[in-house]
Structure 1
Amino acid sequence: MKRNHYIFLGMALVALPSLAQVQPQSKDTTMNRTVVVEQEYNPIILDASKVNVLPKVEEPVVNKKEVEYAISSTPASNIPVGTMQAYTGKEVQPTSKPGYVRAGYGNYGNLDLLGNYLFHLSSRDKLNVNFSMDGMNGTLDMPYGDARKWDAHYYRTRAAIDYLHQFGKIDLSVAGHFGLNNFNYEPYGFSFKKQKFTSGDLHFGVKSTDETMPLQFNAETNLMLYDRQHNQFFGGVNETQIRTKAIVSGNISDEQQISIAFKMNNLIYNNKRDFYNEEIKSIFKSRTVVDLNPYYELNNDDWRLHLGANVDFSFGNGKSFRVSPDVTIQYVFSDSYVVYANATGGRQLNDLRRLETYNPYSDPSNEVRDTYEQLNATLGFKASPVTGLWFNLFAGYQNLKDDLYQIENSWIGGTGGNFIDLRQTSTNNIYAGLSASYTYKDLFTLSGEGIYRHWKASDAYTDNVSSPNYNPALWMKPETELNFKAEIHPIPALWLNIGYQYIWRAERYYGFSKTFFPAVSDLNIGATYHLFKGVSVYAKADNLLNKKFQRYLLYPTEGINFLGGLSFRF
């Protein structure tokens, strides 16, 4: 019994200090609690002079301190209401090698050279240097039973320097480009046979990069020079072009934007021989063209709207004023199905650069006007019913004013010669097609497209009474076009590809020789294999079916041809 009294007395003495402190303090909360923790840690190392013996370390002694609580309250308004944001590390993409070199060679003298290097001068400055050369030099068979051979060659050389400086809110770009084409005409061509195109341009541009600015802009100006060494009538021709482009955009809301795009081309033509200036200017007319494109855009989860118009002015060449639509409407449902309608158009500037891509062997003898796409309207449906599969079903109508076409002509007098002339007329076509692609993981990708076009053009020709009517404006127009491509990646180091192209011309009858144009039928394959880090070997082959067809009017293409080489990344 006496023992129990001692126990109760001890418990009371222990509780007294706690009661004394609890009585005056306010309610303990996480909003007004201040905890002071002091810790002393000062180990004393003994016998440190004995470097070959681990010294003894005394256990740290921690002095106990009394916990003190704050007795003043803190208003809730002083506490930030925002929650702590989750930490997100800065994503760093693996940097690719700045240098790339490729070199290949094959039959028909096929050559493939490419070099590119990107200099990171600083975090804000980049300089890219590029050089390429490709072409062929071999003997080709002339079409339509001509027994003569054509010792053909065509080499393209390109060089470019592009500089980019990133200011805080604006990017500045400065660039210079050079191009050289060396080739010869077919045996029936002109006496000079060889031709050379030389081009160069200087570029200056500025672009806004701060999305918080009320207006976004992108502007550039380009000085572009082009020289054709020969012309069948008047010697060479020079083209000087100043191209200015700008676009300004402003957001109405997070989903809406209005923009206006401006493009102006000033073209000046002259001749190396001053006394032919007037003649050459009757074919290539100096002119100024201005294209305006105001539009409105809406982008949300369901709708994609682009509503605008192309307003085009021309001073000195063809019709002075034209208007065409610039409208795109897309409706997205179930995340992977899209119904869309497009109505577009606009000017296709027929400068010397475009004529080179259209047909480098052509040599116009009449005035060349700019082509104008009055309307290209499409209605379509895109869908992705399963992962990796996309298809696009579409149909439409296209109308072109002053559409270019190729025709054979002859120059009588002097040494004479045949040449490919250019003419222009109005054309239109109704088209329908289907394109599809399927990708399975990283193993393979299959893609294909088929398009059928029904063409109409004015001014049909009749060769003679027994010959059918034919229209040279449709000689090189595609009526049926099929394209297929497969890319296979069976093992990490190997890439394979196979492709096929088929083009059936809208007009197949060639009245001059009373024959028919063959369809384009081109089967090609390619492969790339990584030998080791940074080094790959590649090979490709074209026209494996050894078909005789023409990419350009009356100019033959290579038979079975192949090319192989090495590529390096560094």
Structure 2
Amino acid sequence: MLKHIKYIIVVLTISVTQSFAQEERKQTNDTIDTQVINVVKPYTPTISDAFKIKETPRLDDETTETKKEVKYNIFSIPVASTFTPAKGKAATVTKAKPIKLYDNYASLGFGTYTTILGEVYLNHALNRTERVGGYFSHHSSQGGIENLLLDDDFSKTNLNVHYTKKLSDLSWTVGGGFELQTYNWYGLPQPLFDATTANMLDVKHSFYSANFGGKLNFEDAIINKLSMQFRRFGDDQDSGENRFVAKAEFDVPIQGENVNTELTIDYIGGSFDQTFYSTPELKYGNINVGIAPSYQLIQDDLTVNLGVNLVYLNDTEVGKNKIFIYPNITASYRLVDEILIAYGGIEGGLIQNSYYDFANVNPFVSPTLFITPTDQQYNASIGLKGKLSNSMSYNVSGHYYADRSKALFKANSVLGGATESYHYGNSFGLVYDDVSTFSVAGELNVDVNRNFKLGLKAEYFNYSMDNEAEPWNLPDIKGSLFLDYQIDDHWFAGAGLFYVGERKDVFYEEGTLVFSTPITITLDSYFDANAHVGYKINDRLSAYLKANNIANQDYQRWLNYPVQGIQFLAGATYQFDF
């Protein structure tokens, strides 16, 4: 402290001495009395005026206090315990066992009316690019419908095989098949004929069909698809029909846009040994060449297909040619996403009728048909479809058809002086008329989950004829309901309900000495209920039980052709792999 005081005294002494010296110098040197001007200036510090603060302060005390050392001790006391912590385990999600799918199956069942129903489906991969497969089916019954004068047994056997090869830029398939069907013209009008007449008739007849063809699918090429099929169809009454159909689908680029185009060549030619009135051979044949370009326009929720269908017809028997032009326009618009979709369109086409198609719809036709194509001028449609919920969808639509030369099944007359087994009012022929058809249809599908599915459909028809008195054998109402239910892992069940409204046909007699006035007969509407239940024994084997016509209705699908009553069928299905 004394040291600091010493420094302060020295500084003060120097300051006072300098002040007096300056004052004496002023008095000595200054000869002019001047005014004193005080200039006041704010203090402006500079960097040199600042001093640096030491980062580490200096301790001037000579003595410091020393920290005492602290020691820590832990006293452990053991405690008895029976708790043992378990090891951690990650939670897992229970996965359903994947369903094993097999490539092949075989099914066989036996039922009332001595019914046999069998199916075999085969599909085998030879390697990664080649597959072979086949399908065989047989359905037969020895009949036994009550109050019939003739046998009503039938049989239908079908065999198809195919081979497929897939390459990097294309795939192709070739295949062929054979079909054999046998039926009886058992619809003998009663009481017009009795057992004496029936014992004289051989009403059994059969159809056969053989076909082969192939398909080509291309990847990233102008031509998308090529297909070809040839079918030979005939019967045991010396009738025969050949049909060849070839189609090509390709894209035509126009100003940067692709126009999808389909080219079709459809040939048919056939003959019947005689007409219904036993006149000489009846022949028919024509060739259709059609081209149908179409352009699709998509903008937001609107999709429009604009196209036209041009068809050239050459009647090879008559030697006449004709060109048909049909619209091919469809559109759809999403009003409310998937909930409400409006759609409609106007289309048309030349329908190639054939003996094969008619015989498969009505196997009781006589081998004396006149075959000609149907000119469907247009099919106008409008509708709404969508979803009511995630599991329920609907479709409501209306249609208006304008058909020229529409084929209608009509019962053949009872021919006086009959020479064939189908001359007794127990067969059907064809009549053609210009028919306008208006229909309204509704459809509802419920798919709650993979275990329960339900489908309901109904359609109403109204017909307008030009020449015929009635739309022969066309129903005014059709309805159906389908149900499929997987009860549990083993049990499954299903049902099918069908309703067909009233239809009309005609009955009359004609001959050299007699001709009766045609009588219009109304065929009652009918309701057919079918059901099945099955049990899955294991992944491969399951057993089933079916019941058809549960209500045991004695209805007629065609005039004078009652169907079998209630039927039961039991069988088993086996799935396998090679």
TM-score, normalized by the shorter chain, greater than 0.5: yes
The one-letter amino acid of 2:210's match is: G
SS class of match (1:354): helix
Alignment of 1:74-85 (within 5 A): none
| Aligned match of 2:410 | 407
Q: Deviation of residue 358 (structure 1)?
A: 2.5
**Equivalence for 1:495:** 492
Answer whether contact 1:489 1:496 (CA < 8 A) is retained. yes
Determine if the alignment matches structure 1 residue 164 to structure 2 residue 167. no
Deviations 1:349-405 (A, max 9, x none): 211221112211112645221122221111101121311111111112111111111
Corresponding residue number in structure 2 for 1:528: 534
Match of 1:340 in 2: 343
Extract unaligned runs of 5+ from structure 2: 1-97, 189-197, 509-517
Mapping of residues 4-23 of structure 1, within 5 Å: none
Q: Matched residues in 2 for 1:508 and 1:186: separation?
A: 17
Residue type at the aligned position of 2:497: Y
Helix, strand or coil at the partner of 1:385? strand
Change (3 A) 1:180 1:171: same
Cα displacement string for residues 41-78 of structure 1 (whole angstroms, at most 9, x for unaligned residues) = xxxxxxxxxxxxxxxxxxxxxxxxxxxxxxxxxxxxxx
Matched to 1:496, the amino acid is A
User: For 1:57-104, what per-residue CA distance to the aligned partner results, in whole angstroms no more than 9, with x for missing partners?
Assistant: xxxxxxxxxxxxxxxxxxxxxxxxxxxxxxxxxxxx987312210001
1:368 to 371, 390, 401: 371
In structure 2, the partner of 1:14 is none
SS in 1 for 2:565: coil
CA distance in 2, matches of 1:389, 1:510: 46
Match of 2:562 in 1: 556
Task: State which drifts further: 549-558 or 432-441.
Answer: 549-558
Deviations 1:222-264 (A, max 9, x none): 222111111xxxxx1111222211111357899x742111121
Q: Find 1:195's aligned residue among 190, 205, 220.
A: 205
Q: After the TM superposition, which of the residue ranges 421-430 and 297-306 deviates more from structure 2? A: 297-306
Partner of 1:265: 266
Kept in 2, the 8 Å contact 1:404–1:422? The answer is: yes
Partner of 1:307: 306
The answer (yes or no) to whether the contact 2:143–2:154 under 8 Å persists in 1 is no
- From 137, 142, 145, the equivalent of 1:132 is 137
From the superposition, tell whether residues 253 and 150 of structure 1 become closer, same or farther in structure 2 (CA, over 3 Å). Answer: farther
From 432, 435, 446, give the equivalent of 1:424: 432
Which residue in 2 is equivalent to 1:247?
Answer: 249
Distance in 1 (CA, whole Å) between partners of 2:252 and 2:109 is: 48
Q: AA paired with 2:137? A: S
1:384-463 to 2 correspondences below 5 Å = 384-409=387-412, 410-413=414-417, 415=419, 417-418=423-424, 419-461=427-469
- The letter for the 1-side match of 2:159 is A
Q: Which residue of 2 is the match for residue 103 of structure 1?
A: 108
Q: Show the counterpart of 1:569.
A: 575
**CA distance 1:420–1:128, shift in 2 (3 Å):** same
Q: Deviations over 1:5-55 (max 9, x none)?
A: xxxxxxxxxxxxxxxxxxxxxxxxxxxxxxxxxxxxxxxxxxxxxxxxxxx
Q: Distance in 2 between matches of 1:205 and 1:272?
A: 34
State the AA in 1 paired with 2:155: Y
The answer for the alignment partner of 1:286 in structure 2 is 285
Structure 1 pair 163–214 and aligned structure 2 pair: CA distance change class (3 A): closer
Q: Give 1:287's aligned amino acid.
A: N
Partner letter of residue 305 of structure 1?
Answer: V
Instruction: Answer whether contact 2:506 2:519 (CA < 8 A) is retained.
Output: no
Q: Which amino acid aligns with 2:434?
A: S
Percent of aligned pairs sharing the same letter: 18
Q: Superposition pairs for residues 473-492 of structure 1, below 5 Å?
A: 474-492=471-489
Counterpart CA distance in 1 for 2:299 and 2:99 is 32
Given the superposition, is the C-alpha separation of residues 373 and 527 from structure 1 closer, same or farther in structure 2, using an over 3 Å criterion?
A: farther
Q: Is the 8 A contact 1:239 1:270 kept in 2?
A: yes
Aligned residue in 2 for 1:153: 153
Residues 400-423 of structure 1, C-alpha deviation per residue, up to 9 Å, x if partnerless?
A: 111111222234335453221111
State the shift of 1:182 in Å. 1.4
Q: Give SS of 2:284's match.
A: coil
Deviation at 1:534, TM superposition (A): 0.5
SS of 2:153's equivalent? strand
Cα offset, 1:515, TM superposition = 4.9
* CA 1:319–1:398: 2 relative to 1, 3 Å: farther
Query: 1:319, CA displacement in angstroms?
Result: 7.1
Contact 1:113–1:133 at 8 Å: present in 2 too?
yes
Distance in 2 between residues matched to 1:125 and 1:534, nearest whole Å:
25
- The answer to which of 452-461 and 349-358 deviates more is 452-461
CA distance in 1, matches of 2:215, 2:522: 49
Are the structure 2 counterparts of residues 391 and 476 from structure 1 closer, same or farther at C-alpha, using a change threshold of 3 Å?
Answer: same
Partner of 2:358: helix, strand, or coil? Answer: helix
**Residues 510 and 183 of structure 1, relative CA distance in 2, 3 Å threshold:** closer
One-letter code aligned to 1:405:
L
Amino acid at match of 1:175: G
Which residue identity does 1:262 align to in structure 2? L
State the alpha-carbon separation in 2 of the partners of residues 174 and 509 from structure 1.
45
Measure the CA separation in 2 of the matches of 1:345 and 1:378: 11
Residue 484 of structure 1: CA displacement? 1.4
Deviations 1:315-344 (A, max 9, x none): 116873222222210011332121001222
> Quick check: 2:272–2:369 contact (8 Å CA) kept in 1?
no
Offset of residue 299 of structure 1: 4.3
Task: Give the alignment partner of residue 537 of structure 1, picking from 534, 543, 554.
Answer: 543
Q: Distance in 2 between matches of 1:443 and 1:100?
A: 21
Tell me which residue corresponds to 1:33: none
| 1:566 CA drift (Å) | 0.3
Q: RMSD over aligned Cα, in angstroms?
A: 2.9
2-structure distance, mates of 1:558, 1:319: 47
In the superposition, the TM-score normalised over structure 2's length comes to 0.72
- Partners of 2:271 and 2:560 in 1: how far apart? 30
Could you list the runs of 5+ residues in structure 1 that have no partner in the other structure? 1-92, 142-146, 231-235, 462-470
Conserved 8 A contact 2:110-2:570: yes
Query: Residue 360 of structure 2: SS of its match in structure 1?
Result: helix
Distance (Å, rounded) in 2 between the aligned partners of 1:257 and 1:563? 53
Q: How much does 1:183 deviate?
A: 1.6
Structure 2 CA distance for aligned equivalents of residues 290 and 420 of structure 1: 31
1:113 is displaced (CA, Å) by 0.7
Give the whole-Å Cα distance in 1 for the aligned partners of 2:128 and 2:332: 40
1:180 matches 2:187: no
Q: How many residues are paired up?
A: 450
Equivalent residue number for residue 228 of structure 1: 235
- TM-score w.r.t. the length of structure 1 is 0.73
Amino acid corresponding to residue 264 of structure 2 in structure 1: K
Residue 261 of structure 2 aligns to which amino acid in structure 1? I
Counterpart-to-counterpart distance in 2, 1:554 and 1:292: 44
2 CA distance for matches of 1:301 and 1:110? 55
Are residues 257 and 545 of structure 1, via their aligned partners in 2, closer, same or farther at CA, if it must alter by over 3 Å?
A: farther
Residues in 2 aligned to 1:484 and 1:253: alpha-carbon distance in whole angstroms: 49
Q: Which has the larger radius of gyration?
A: 2
